[in-house]
Amino acid sequence: MNHNQLKASLRKQAQHYWKTARPKGYRELKKAGEWEQHLNYLIDLTLKLYDHLIEQGTPEHMALVQAKEEYLFPPSEAEIAEREDDDSDGLYVRLS
């Protein structure tokens, strides 16, 4: 798959992911008129890391999975909320 085909595929995957797993962030970026710029930036970072990993000898499939997880698919809003809940397990006391 060449980079143009890969970019088109990454774009579709990222749009679907962000609409379903990061809907608040997606809506905020769309409302601000920054979604396309943000998406292009994430795709560029993903492809740069992918190329770097390939150059380092990582198999293509593994390189693509790792690069997508690093940039296109950040933790979902539900995962972030869960982590915040886990951090408040009573071990820490807030001082006001």
Q: Is residue 96 part of a domain?
A: no
CA distance 83 to 91: 14
Q: Mean pLDDT over all residues of the chain?
A: 89
Is residue 95 assigned to a domain? no
89 has a pLDDT exceeding 70: no
Report pLDDT digits (tens) over 13-49: 999 999 999 999 999 999 999 999 999 999 999 999 9
Domain range for 79 is 3-87
* Cα-trace Rg, the chain: 17
8 located within any domain: yes
Q: Please give the pLDDT value at position 79.
A: 87
Q: Which two tokens stand for residue 25?
A: 């962030």
Per-residue pLDDT band at 9 (split at 50, 70, 90)? very high
**Which residues, 6 or more positions from 83, have their beta carbon under 8 angstroms from its beta carbon?**
75
- Measured CA to CA, the distance from residue 72 to residue 65 in angstroms comes to 10
Domain-embedded: residue 69: yes
What is residue 96's predicted lDDT score, i.e. its pLDDT? 42
53 in any annotated domain: yes
Tally of structural domains, the chain: 1
Q: Round to whole Å and give the CA distance between 71 and 46.
A: 6
Q: Are the beta carbons of 84 and 63 closer than 8 angstroms?
A: no
- Whether this model's pTM surpasses 0.85: no
